[in-house]
Amino acid sequence: MRSHAPSQRQLRVGEELRHAVVRILDHAHFRDPDLVAASITVTEVRVSPDLKNATAFVIPLGGLQMARVVAALNRAQGYFRRELGRELALKFVPCICFAADTSFEYSLRIDALLRQPDVERDLEADTEAVHGQGEGDHGP
């Protein structure tokens, strides 16, 4: 099975959902102790091709207590779905689940790998080789 890029409609609905989830988080008064004082960033919402399921990628401030916050948000799925129904004019309100956004951690790992001395040396050698090849081709 090949994975296809999301359609414009999926991207548009995902962004609309992201904004709605942020508004809900800003105005909600949660009783769950894991959400009461949590400051949560919604980085992306991915929507299924049929627009009936959505995954909201979140990260708590500083990345602290990620698992607890994501679990608490998933416990509040019904609340979010109800509020999304009030906020959005969609034919179907998607079933939303929450997942930890690990893209920042991943980019930090890649950056750390690229900064290792032997990798930096190899990258500099590749850059010099590319620049060195093209210099002789430009003139007499």
Please tell me the total number of residues recorded for the chain in this structure: 140
Please state which architecture CATH assigns to domain 8-101: 2-Layer Sandwich (3.30)
The pLDDT score that the predictor gives to residue 107 is: 67
Domain ranges in the chain are 8-101, 102-133
Q: Where are the alpha helices (DSSP H) in the chain?
A: 8-27, 33-36, 66-75, 77-87, 103-114, 117-135
The pLDDT score that the predictor gives to residue 140 is: 47
Per-residue pLDDT of the chain (140 residues; tens, 9 = 90+): 556 787 888 999 999 999 999 999 998 888 888 888 888 999 999 999 999 999 999 999 877 788 999 999 999 999 999 999 998 888 889 999 999 988 776 666 777 777 778 877 777 776 777 776 544 455 44
Using alpha carbons, select from 91, 50, 58, 52 the residue that is nearest to residue 74: 58
Using alpha carbons, select from 40, 20, 37, 21 the residue that is nearest to residue 29: 37
Give the Cα separation of 93 and 104 in Å (integer): 29
Residue 88 DSSP one-character state: -
Give the Cα separation of 8 and 110 in Å (integer): 30
3 φ, ψ (degrees, to nearest 5): -95, 135
Residue 57 DSSP one-character state: E
